[in-house]
Amino acid sequence: MTEKKWWKESVVYQIYPRSFYDSNQDGIGDLKGIIQKLDYFVDLGVDVIWICPMYQSPNDDNGYDISDYQSIMEEFGTMEDFDRLLDEAHDRGLKVILDLVLNHTSDEHQWFIESRSAKDHPKRDWYIWRDQPNNWESIFGGSAWEYDDKTGQYYLHIFSKKQPDLNWENEEVRHNLYDMVNWWLDKGIDGFRIDAISHIKKTDGLPDAQNPEGKPYAPAWEHMMNVDGIHDFLEELNQQTFSNYDIMTVAEANGVGTEDIHQWVGQSGKFNMVFQFEHLALWDGESNKDLNIIELKETLTRWQKTLERDGWNALFIENHDIPRVTSTWGNDSNYWRESATALGAMYFFMKGTPFIYQGQEIGMTNSEFKQIGEFNDVRTINHYYLKKQEGYNHEEIMAILNKTSRDHSRTPMQWNNQDHAGFSQTSPWLKVNDNYEWLNVEKQQNDEGSVLSFYKKMIKLRRQYDVFIYGQYELQMADHPTIFSYTREYEGVRMLIVTNLSEQPAVMDSFDIDKLLLSNDSDASSNVLNPYEARVYKLK
């Protein structure tokens, strides 16, 4: 029997603060902006908000490069604003979780400034310094090593060169991080999303990566992702921090699979749940790999089944690192509303805690970026120049980036059809998507058939029926090429979710139906599903 927990019964809303709401008209979202929109979350029905990094940062990677863990980015406000946000959220029954970046800091963090100052500085060993670089490639492209003139050595950065990796082998580093984590927990926050945590352990000796193509740098996943020995660190982290509080923890765990997930979550785990990456790889805009529904069913069902008795899933189809799902997996022109809602229903009723990324609940789509200067994301810009070196021309690169860039999910939230989509009264830091005039919160707020109303109904259903939280998952119609369907069952109540994830009509099997609870189509009476039709039934 699954143990009951508040974090299992919650729906989480992810906020990218820079793009959410600008309260002081400088074109940048901020904490007061979030405070002003707290009632929006209450109206939507979510239980928890996750705020992407809002700590002091020079913003090389929009806050994921932290220069002071215990203060707030000036553009976002002050610690007083944060305390008020926390209080006002709690007053409304909302919980707040923060992003926790432990793999690296900014190169402008005091620790790194000291570390780089001299080879014999006591903090030298807090980061990873070598006389010679190995051949590892950074996740953001190029070498993972940066030469530092001052002392004539290289430091390791598996993300941008302004994000030097902390040396987790150093005990002092770990204990300083734990103190910081506990400081936030003692403030009364409700948990963390733990960034890039599967990268904290590197293979001893930092050996070169396999490099069959003989390139200057090679992907070094086997040496810096989910490396043997990582669980000693995670266990200690959990013991010294999380396990002493009743909080929600969700780890970003690239490279963790169903084979080893039980070391991460459940009885012998260190987190409540993880963001696994497998389903994200099923679509790839760069190599033109389209989503295959059979593969999607196989992948998500394997995660459901693996964590059936022990552990818990984090359910998500969008975040700030991937393009908009309605544009990639769905169809953002002819079947915009249908695909936005069908994809929502597909994942939302699985067993686990659903996460909604800001704007997903109104079906926001990819933007069109016409010039390289319109992009902001460090990874996107790095890719542009690396592709140039590889011989691609400008148009070819822009076509790729228009499919893959992380900036698609970071365009300002579309609140209404006024200038700058109601996000700000001034030009925002990143261009608003042109479709804000018809695609915005205000337009959908009072429309029963809107994507937003559909999300509200899904959230209500989860709240109304325990079976959507604790019920057993079974895949149905496993071999159907376009229908993703499953049942949930708990204490004698059975539900059926059916979604047609294609542009062709599809025929569903017959089931013993009691009643229809939710549909994204005006007519759900026959067994033929329209393109991207989604239905939720109670079974007899």
- Give catalytic residue positions: 195, 252
Q: Which helix (H) or strand (E) holds 462?
A: helix 451-464
Footprint of ligand GLC on 298-327 (CB under 6 A): 320-321
Is 54 a binding residue for ligand GLC by CB under 6 A? The answer is no
Is 196 a binding residue for ligand GLC by CB under 6 A? The answer is yes
Bridge partner list, 104: 165
The count of C-alpha atoms lying within 13 angstroms of the C-alpha of 533, restricted to the half-sphere facing its C-beta, is 18
Nearer to ligand GLC, 252 or 533 (CB): 252
Given ligand GLC, Ca ion, none, residue 476, with its beta carbon under 5 to 8 Å by kind, binds none
Q: What does the CA dihedral 180, 183, 187, 190 come to, rounded to 10 degrees?
A: 60
Among 30, 146, 190, 195, which residue sits at the site for ligand GLC (rule: CB under 6 A)? Answer: 195
Is 477 a binding residue for ligand GLC by CB under 6 A? The answer is no
- Asked if 41 contacts 49 with a C-beta cutoff of 8 angstroms, the reply is yes
Contacts of residue 216, defined as CB under 8 A and 6 or more positions apart, other chains included, come to 135, 143
Is 407 a binding residue for ligand GLC by CB under 6 A? The answer is no
What single string gives the DSSP state of each residue in 228-256? TTHHHHHHHHHHHTGGGS--EEEEE-TT-
The token pair at 364 is 């926001």
Given ligand GLC, Ca ion, none, residue 442, with its beta carbon under 5 to 8 Å by kind, binds none
Among 16, 40, 55, 159, which residue sits at the site for ligand GLC (rule: CB under 6 A)? Answer: 159
Give me the least distance between CB of 195 and ligand GLC, in Å please.
5
Give the SS3 label for residue 140: coil
User: Whole-angstrom Cα distance, residue 367 to residue 126?
Assistant: 40
Footprint of ligand GLC on 95-114 (CB under 6 A): 101
Give me the least distance between CB of 31 and ligand GLC, in Å please.
19
End-to-end C-alpha distance for the chain, whole angstroms: 23
Residues in contact with Ca ion by the rule CB under 5 A: 22, 24, 26, 28, 30
Q: Put the strands of the sheet holding 483-490 in their side by side order.
A: 472-476, 483-490, 493-500, 534-539, 513-519
User: Whole-angstrom Cα distance, residue 224 to residue 289?
Assistant: 26
Give me the least distance between CB of 358 and ligand GLC, in Å please.
14
Give me the least distance between CB of 8 and ligand GLC, in Å please.
23
Of 512, 498, 368, 495, give the one whose Cα is nearest residue 433. 368
Nearer to Ca ion, 17 or 266 (CB): 17
Is 64 a binding residue for ligand GLC by CB under 6 A? The answer is yes
Given ligand GLC, Ca ion, none, residue 165, with its beta carbon under 5 to 8 Å by kind, binds none
Given ligand GLC, Ca ion, none, residue 26, with its beta carbon under 5 to 8 Å by kind, binds Ca ion
Counting every residue, how long is the chain? 540
Nearer to Ca ion, 24 or 263 (CB): 24
Nearer to ligand GLC, 159 or 242 (CB): 159
Applying CB under 6 A, the site for ligand GLC has a residue count of: 9
Given Ca ion, ligand GLC, none, residue 24, with its beta carbon under 5 to 8 Å by kind, binds Ca ion
Site residues (CB under 6 A) for ligand GLC? 61, 64, 101, 159, 195-196, 252, 320-321
